[in-house]
Structure 1
Amino acid sequence: MKLGIEDNSALVLASTSGLGKASAKALAKEGVNVTINGRNEKKLEEAVDELNHVGKGNVKGTVGDISKKEDVRRLVERTVKDQNGLDHLVTCAGGPPSKVFIDTDDQDWYESFDLLVMSVVRSVRESVKFLKEGEGTIVNITSMSVKEAVPNLVLSNSVRMSVIGLMKTLSKELGPEIRANSVLPGPHKTGRIKELIEEELKRGNIGAYEEGLEGWTEDIPMNRLGKPMELGELVAFLSSPRSSFINGAAIPIDGGGSNSNL
C-alpha cells in the first residue's frame, strides 16, 4: 500500500535496533527521509548503512542519549537541517531495568522518568514548531504494560502511564495540525525479550531459556512473538494520511495476549 508519505521527513528515537529500527525501516521503505538515533556510534553507522538499502528514503544517523536534554535538542535540530524539515516524530526508548518494587531506589525512578517520559516531553517540545508546518504526526512506542502490569517490571508499569496521559493531552492541544497516537506492543522478537528472559534465569525463576520464551508466548492466541516489522508498519500507517482520523489513540499490537477489554 502506498501511504502517501514519500519525501516526508522523520526522526525516530532509539532506532539502531528493535522496534525503533523497524519503525525507521518501514518509513524508509515508504520513501520517507529518516534520521535515526542511538548512543553507540558503530552500531548507528551499521544501521544507517542497512536502512539506506531498503527503499527510496534517505537515512541519516545522529549519536545522542535521549535521556539528556541537550542531546534531544541537537537531534531535532540536526534532523531539520539534514532532512530539510520534520514531518513525523516517532518516540521510542529502551526499557528500564527489570526489578520488583522493593529492589528499586530513588535513582532508578529518576532515570526511568528521564528515559521514558522526559525524552518524549523534550522531543515533542523541540519538534512542535516544525511539525505544525505540515500535517505533522507524533507516534509514541510504549508498551502493553500500560494496560496490564507485567511482573518484575514495576518501573515500566508505572512510569509509562505518564506518557499515555501526555499523548492523549497532546492530541487535544495540538490538533488539528498535529496528530498524536501511541502503539502498545506486547512481546516482540527483539533484544529486550532476550534480556528479560536472561534476568529471570539469573533470579532462578526459570530453569532454561526455552522455558522463559514459552512463558512469554503461552498466553498469546497467535502462539508466537510479534515481528518487529509488524509494529514498524503500524507506525508508518499512523504517520500517514491513511490514518488521518486516528488521533489520541493507544493501539495494542500484542497478538491478543492482553486480558484487558479495552
Structure 2
Amino acid sequence: MSFDRRVAVVTGGARNIGLATVKAFLARDARVVLVDRDDETVDSAVSSLGVAGDRLIGVSADVSSEESVKALMDRVGAAFGSVSYVVNNAGICTLNLAVDLSVEEWDRVLAVNLRGPWLCVKHALPLMKDGGAVVNIASQAAQRAQRFTAHYSASKMGIIGLTRALAVELAPKIRVNAVSPGTVYTNMIEHEINWRISKGFDSDGEAVKKDWLDRIPMKRFQSADAIAKAILFLCSDDASETTGETLNVSGGAVMV
C-alpha cells in the first residue's frame, strides 16, 4: 500500500493514535500535515519523527474554531496545493456524571469532537478537487453504555451520524468513513482510573483494568498502531467501494 506522495492531514497528530497514523502515512510515501493544539506540542512531535524535506509539516490549530481551521487549510494549500486524505482524530474527554456536567464542559467537548471534524471537512473540500477520503475517529463509547462520559459518547455518536451524512453528500468523488477504537491504553486511561479512585467510584486500579479486559472478547487492549492500520485501509484504494461505514477496532468489545 503506497500513497504516492498524496497529502494527508491528521488532526490530533502529536500523540497516541494520531502520531501512529502520521508514522503509518509517512512509511507509505504520503506527505503529511501533523496538526495539534499548540506550537510546542507540534514542534516536539515533528522533531521526533526526523523526516527531512517536504514530506512533513506541523501546524497548530484549534479545530473547534472556524477561523483557526480556515487558517490551517490555507497553510496546507500554500504548502502542498491539494489534500487527498483528512483524518479527524483530534478529541478531548473530561470525566463526570451526566448530572454533574457543566454546560461549559458539555459544549467544549462537543465543539472539539463534533464541530471540529465538520469544520475540517468543510474547509478541506476546496483542496480535494481530485477526490480522496475522510476518516473520522468515533469510539466504542458511541455504541455501548459507560459511565462518566455522556458528553463524549454523545459527540462520538454524532461523529457516526456526521460520517453517514457526509458520505452521501460528498459521493462519488470523496469517501467518508469512521473508525471506532476500543480501549487504547494511554495516559488518558491512567487519568480515568486515578479519577475514579479519587472520587470513590473504585478503589483498585488493577481491578478496573481487569473489568475492562473481561468485557473485551480478545482479552487485550487495542494498540494505536492497530487503529492507524484501519485508518490507512479506509483511505486506500483497497476500500474504494466503502463509504458511510464505521469500522470497529475494539477486540469485539462492542458486541458484548
TM-score tier (shorter): over 0.9
Gaps of 5+ in 1: none
1:51 aligned to which of 45, 49, 55: 49
Closer, same or farther: CA 106–28 of 1 in aligned 2, 3 Å: same
Assess if the C-alpha contact under 8 Å between 1:219 and 1:257 holds in 2: yes
Alignment partners' CA distance in 1, 2:48 and 2:229: 17
2:13 matches 1:15: yes
Match of 2:108 in 1: 111
Alignment partners' CA distance in 1, 2:138 and 2:159: 8
Superposed CA deviations along residues 160-190 of structure 1, whole A, max 9, x for unmatched, are 2222111101111111100000000010122
Aligned residue pairs, count:
256
Match of 2:36 in 1: 38
Paired residue type of 2:243: N
TM-score (norm 2): 0.94
Give 1:124-135 correspondences, 5 Å limit.
124-131=121-128, 133-135=129-131
Say what the alpha-carbon RMSD is for the aligned residues.
1.8
What secondary structure does 2:226 align onto? helix
1:204 aligned to which of 196, 200, 203: 200
TM-score (norm 1): 0.92
Assess if the C-alpha contact under 8 Å between 2:32 and 2:56 holds in 1: yes
Match of 2:92 in 1: 95
Match of 2:74 in 1: 77
Query: Which moves more between the two structures, 188-197 or 23-32?
Result: 188-197
2:170 matches 1:160: no
Assess if the C-alpha contact under 8 Å between 1:200 and 1:212 holds in 2: no
Paired residue type of 1:226: Q
Paired residue type of 2:114: V
Match of 1:259 in 2: 255
Closer, same or farther: CA 224–183 of 1 in aligned 2, 3 Å: same
Assess if the C-alpha contact under 8 Å between 1:34 and 1:83 holds in 2: no
Match of 2:175 in 1: 179
Assess if the C-alpha contact under 8 Å between 2:12 and 2:90 holds in 1: yes
Match of 2:144 in 1: 148
What secondary structure does 2:59 align onto? strand
Report sequence identity in percent.
24
2:214 matches 1:218: yes
Alignment partners' CA distance in 1, 2:140 and 2:99: 23
Assess if the C-alpha contact under 8 Å between 2:2 and 2:29 holds in 1: no
Match of 2:62 in 1: 65
Alignment partners' CA distance in 2, 1:194 and 1:78: 35
Paired residue type of 2:99: I
What secondary structure does 1:96 align onto? coil
Q: CA deviation at 1:57?
A: 7.9
Gaps of 5+ in 2: none
